[in-house]
Each structure stands twice: as structure tokens, then as C-alpha cells.
């Protein structure tokens, strides 16, 4: 008995008459592509299939702007001529239609339909559509980024140059990053990393400035950390670091009463943020605790004063009495600040550098030791920055 489902679903042939009936399943028929409502021109002469959508464009529009399509269409023409010649020699009246000449024989393009539609928009855009992209109130960043990607892939050099220059002109405007939605900020970061348009550093700086806003919702916080995990590297580490700092995890003694290091593992003094951290996925919570423990340990070590080598021009006695005293001063806690006390390595190093730069070098008997202190501080800062991603692996 033959059973055929409606709507183009898979069909099955069932063999009966046996206790072990079997069914032979056939794959569903191929989805019939539909014509694009905007870019299927009746007077077009080149039909392309992109996913399940047919586009009928003017061949000269493709070959004029794209090296890829110039080569592709020449290659297809050559194959068609060779096939026609062989059929003529064999007196074969049946010929296969050339690709791109009918809906049944389109040129297949491996792209997303919405991206290719954006490419068509750029090819056929009216002057007002083009001018709109220069205006801050009318620009469509999603469309321009899509256009940049697909024009780069299919070698539409003029469209790539135009769209990338428009994007660059917008991103160089003051305060644009602050005005972007979180979604567009993420998209811009990915795009800038791939195509080197815009400043990735400035984008990451803006991202980190928004981290405190994520702390009011476990869902927002988890989403932010998930994106940071995906990006990885320094941005991931700085995001987790910013979260811990924003939750008060890198300070001691803030709020009412005193808080010791053990108390810090109660997540936060703020009950709302307690819940936020508690609701994080296990992997994110574990990564946060691992990083927190590493930062607290390093912070305590820095407060005990790192080792300083003696300068070649400094004798033992002045070095031990004057130079090391100055070195210890750079690392000690500010006596004017009682609460909260920071044990964030980044803050401790920044404080030490600030004191170093504010000090008069004449206070030391030997300038050589002063230079050594600066070199050592900068080396510690660089090492901390390079090692920070390892705290949140």
C-alpha cells in the first residue's frame, strides 16, 4: 500500500503481509523557490537563486560592479557555448538551457537572501536612499553592515568602498557609541574586528562602561557575560572584573560595620545583587569565583610590597633607609581613606603609579633608584594586564 502525505512531505511505501512490516521513506521534494517581490524584474536577463528566493536582475549591473560576477558569467557562457557546439556536432536537438535564463535553471549563489537583497538595494538605490545613509537620523547601520559583508565577499569594490566609508564617517562622530543600542554595539564590535573599520578599543571601552547597568538583572548579567565569553580574551576578563568591582567584591569594609575577606564570599552586601549572582549559570558563577579568588590573593600580595632591586649607583644603607621607604609608601593604603578599602590589583597598581608620578624625584638620594621604581611599576602593570584573562578562563 502506498501512503503519500500532503504538502510535499516525505512519502513512505509500506510492505504488509508480514509481522515485521517495513517502511521505505523518501525525502521530501525540494522546496519550490519564490520570486522576490522587489528584485525580480520582468526585463531582467539574469536569474539567481539565493536560498529559496529567486532574483531576476540585469546582467550588466552585476558585471559592471563585481569582478566575481564578471568571471562567473563569462565562465558560464563558455560552458554553454561548448555544450551547444557538442550538440550541433551530434545533431542532438535537445539542449540544456543555460544557467540563469529561467526559474528552473537559475545561477545558485551561496549567500543569505536578506544579505543579497541588501546588495540589490544598493545596486538599484535611488539618490534619496543613498543620501539618507549620510544622515544620523536616517542611517540604517544594519543594512550598511550587511552590504559591507556581502560586497566584500562577492567583490563589489565600489559598493564596499562606499558603504565602509559611510560607516566610518558615522563612527568617527562624537558620542555615537553612547547613542547605540546594546545590540548595535555588539554588532559593531564584531564588524570592526573583522573589517578593521572603527576603533575596537573605543567600542570595548563603551561596552565596559555599561556593565554596571547589567547588575540589576540576572538575565541581563548572564546575557552580557555570555557575549563576553564568546568574544574571549581581554574583553571577557575585563567584563568579569568590572562585574566583580561593581558588586563591591573587590573592597573591604564598605557599608555598615566591617567586612573581612571571608565575608566577601557572601556575594555582596546588597541583597538584590545577591540574587543576581546566585541566579547565574553554574559555569559563569564558577568563573566569577575563580577570578575573584585570584584577584583577592594578588591584591593582598601587592599590599605587602613587591621586591625592588637596588640601583647600581645606590649604596646599601641609603637604599634600605630611603629608597625602600619610598617604595613602601607607593604601595601602602591611603591613610585618608578608611572605608571601603580596595584590594583590587588594578586599583592598587593605579594608585601606586599615581603617587609615583606625583612625587618629586629629588626626595630620593639617587635618581637611579627612582627610575627603577618607575620601570618596576610599569612592568607590574603590564604583567597584570597580560595575566588578567587567565583569572577568568
pLDDT value at 125 more than 60 = yes
Closest by alpha carbon to 108, among 50, 57, 177, 52?
50
By DSSP bridging, strand 46-50 and strand 107-109 are: parallel
Q: Residue for cell digits 543569505?
A: 112
User: Rounded mean pLDDT of the chain?
Assistant: 80
Q: What pLDDT, on the 0 to 100 scale, is given for residue 99?
A: 85
The three three-digit cell numbers of residue 160, written as one number: 564596499
380 or 304, greater pLDDT: 380
Q: What is the mean pLDDT of residues 111-137?
A: 94
- Looking at residue 215, the DSSP 8-state letter turns out to be G
Task: Mention every residue, 6+ apart, whose C-beta is less than 8 A from residue 259.
Answer: 251, 252, 253, 269, 340
Q: What is the mean pLDDT of residues 175-196?
A: 87
Taking a C-beta distance cutoff of 8 angstroms, is the pair 369, 277 a contact? no
Closest by alpha carbon to 374, among 311, 312, 320?
311
Q: What pLDDT, on the 0 to 100 scale, is given for residue 132?
A: 94
Calpha distance 321→319 (Å, rounded)? 6
pLDDT value at 274 more than 80 = no
Instruction: Give 121's pLDDT tier (boundaries 50, 70, 90).
Output: very high
Closest by alpha carbon to 373, among 339, 323, 314?
323
| Sequence ranges of the domains in the chain | 1-30, 307-391
Instruction: Give 174's pLDDT tier (boundaries 50, 70, 90).
Output: confident
Neighbours of 179 (CB within 10 A): 10
- Of 174-178, 275-279, 336-340, the range with the lowest mean pLDDT is 336-340
pLDDT value at 104 more than 80 = yes
Q: What pLDDT, on the 0 to 100 scale, is given for residue 250?
A: 84
Q: What is the mean pLDDT of residues 299-312?
A: 81
Helix axes 141-153, 182-195, angle to 10 degrees: 20
- Of 78-92, 117-131, 136-150, 344-358, the range with the lowest mean pLDDT is 78-92
Q: What is the mean pLDDT of residues 339-361?
A: 80
Instruction: Give 4's pLDDT tier (boundaries 50, 70, 90).
Output: very low
pLDDT tens-digit series, residues 188-210:
898 888 887 778 889 999 999 99
216 or 314, greater pLDDT: 216
Calculate Rg over the CA atoms of the chain: 33
pLDDT tens-digit series, residues 24-47:
444 444 688 999 999 999 999 999
Q: What pLDDT, on the 0 to 100 scale, is given for residue 320?
A: 67
Amino acid at each position: 500500500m502506498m501512503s503519500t502525505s500532503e504538502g510535499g512531505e516525505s512519502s513512505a511505501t509500506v510492505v504488509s503481509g508480514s509481522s515485521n512490516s517495513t517502511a521505505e521513506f523518501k525525502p521530501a521534494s525540494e522546496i519550490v523557490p519564490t520570486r522576490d517581490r522587489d528584485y525580480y524584474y520582468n526585463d531582467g536577463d539574469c536569474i539567481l537563486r539565493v536560498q529559496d528566493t529567486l532574483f531576476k536582475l540585469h546582467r550588466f549591473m552585476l558585471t559592471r560592479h563585481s569582478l566575481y560576477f564578471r568571471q562567473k558569467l563569462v565562465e558560464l557562457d563558455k560552458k554553454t557555448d561548448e555544450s551547444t557546439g557538442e550538440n550541433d556536432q551530434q545533431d542532438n536537438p535537445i539542449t540544456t538551457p543555460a544557467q540563469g535564463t529561467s526559474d528552473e535553471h537559475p545561477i545558485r549563489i551561496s549567500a543569505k537572501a536578506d544579505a543579497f537583497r541588501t546588495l540589490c538595494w544598493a545596486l538599484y538605490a535611488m539618490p534619496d536612499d543613498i543620501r539618507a545613509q549620510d544622515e544620523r537620523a536616517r542611517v540604517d547601520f544594519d543594512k550598511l553592515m550587511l552590504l559591507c559583508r556581502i560586497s566584500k565577499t562577492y567583490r563589489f569594490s565600489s559598493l564596499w568602498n562606499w558603504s565602509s566609508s559611510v560607516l566610518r564617517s558615522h563612527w568617527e562622530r562624537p558620542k555615537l557609541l553612547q547613542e547605540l543600542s546594546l545590540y548595535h554595539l555588539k554588532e559593531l564590535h564584531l564588524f570592526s574586528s573583522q573589517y578593521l573599520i572603527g576603533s575596537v578599543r573605543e567600542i570595548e571601552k563603551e561596552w565596559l562602561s555599561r556593565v554596571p547597568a547589567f547588575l540589576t538583572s540576572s538575565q541581563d548579567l548572564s546575557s552580557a557575560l555570555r557575549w563576553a565569553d564568546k568574544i574571549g580574551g581581554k574583553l571577557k576578563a575585563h567584563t568579569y572584573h568590572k562585574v566583580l568591582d561593581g558588586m563591591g567584591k573587590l573592597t573591604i569594609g564598605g557599608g555598615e560595620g566591617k567586612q573581612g575577606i571571608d565575608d566577601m564570599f557572601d556575594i555582596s552586601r546588597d541583597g538584590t545583587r545577591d540574587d543576581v549572582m546566585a541566579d547565574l549559570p553554574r559555569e559563569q558563577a564558577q568563573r566569577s569565583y575563580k577570578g575573584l579568588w585570584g584577584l583577592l590573593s594578588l591584591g593582598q600580595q601587592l599590599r605587602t610590597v613587591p621586591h625592588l632591586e637596588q640601583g647600581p649607583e645606590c649604596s646599601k644603607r641609603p637604599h634600605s633607609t630611603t629608597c625602600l621607604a619610598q617604595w613602601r609608601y607607593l604601595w601602602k593604603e591611603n591613610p585618608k581613606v578608611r572605608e571601603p578599602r580596595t584590594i583590587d590589583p588594578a586599583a592598587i597598581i593605579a594608585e601606586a603609579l599615581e603617587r609615583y608620578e606625583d612625587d618629586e624625584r629629588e626626595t630620593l638620594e639617587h635618581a637611579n633608584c627612582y627610575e627603577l621604581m618607575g620601570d618596576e611599576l610599569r612592568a607590574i602593570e603590564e604583567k597584570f594586564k597580560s595575566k588578567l584573562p587567565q583569572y577568568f578562563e
